[in-house]
């Protein structure tokens, strides 16, 4: 009986230590695509891409087509332009093997809004 108990205890110790055995480290790269639009002045809306190396590239979006009509219609067109630009960038990177990890819409201080897409590549 002692031998069976000893063998079971030894097997349990081996199985338990296997859980702490070092595993291969997977490197995950992360990047962000950010669409920024200040309200109420949408004249300066931007698309910013932040690479895994921390390089930031900002492009001003052409929102001149949103100037016509009522204010609410202008706001809707601005949102469409910004979402279209960010989704185009996301799709481009997904074709290169990046996966969408998260999306967040955030309001930053005095009328600045961000639409943030986080992409990962393993």
Q: Rounded to 5, what percent of the chain is helix, strand, coil? A: 35, 35, 30
What is the reported pTM?
A: 0.69
| Rg of the chain (C-alpha set) | 25
The predicted structure's pLDDT at residue 119: 94
d(CA 32, CA 50): 5
The predicted structure's pLDDT at residue 14: 65
Structural domain spans, the chain: 25-121
Strands (E), 26-122: 29-38, 45-50, 56-61, 99-108, 112-121
pLDDT tens by residue, the chain, 122 residues? 666 666 666 666 666 676 677 777 678 899 999 988 776 666 678 899 999 999 999 998 887 776 666 766 777 777 788 888 888 999 999 999 999 999 998 887 777 788 899 999 98
Question: How is residue 43 written in tokens?
Answer: 């004249």
């Amino acid at each position: 009986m002692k031998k069976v108990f000893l063998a079971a205890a030894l097997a349990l110790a081996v199985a338990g230590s296997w859980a702490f055995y070092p595993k291969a480290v997977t490197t995950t790269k992360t990047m962000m695509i950010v669409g920024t639009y200040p309200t109420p002045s949408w004249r300066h809306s931007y698309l910013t891409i932040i690479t895994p190396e921390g390089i930031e590239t900002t492009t001003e979006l052409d929102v001149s087509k949103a100037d016509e009509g009522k204010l609410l219609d202008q706001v809707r067109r601005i949102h469409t332009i910004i979402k279209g630009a960010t989704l185009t960038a996301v799709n481009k990177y997904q074709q290169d093997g990046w996966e969408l990890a998260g999306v967040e819409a955030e309001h930053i201080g005095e009328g600045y809004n961000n639409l943030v897409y986080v992409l990962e590549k393993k």
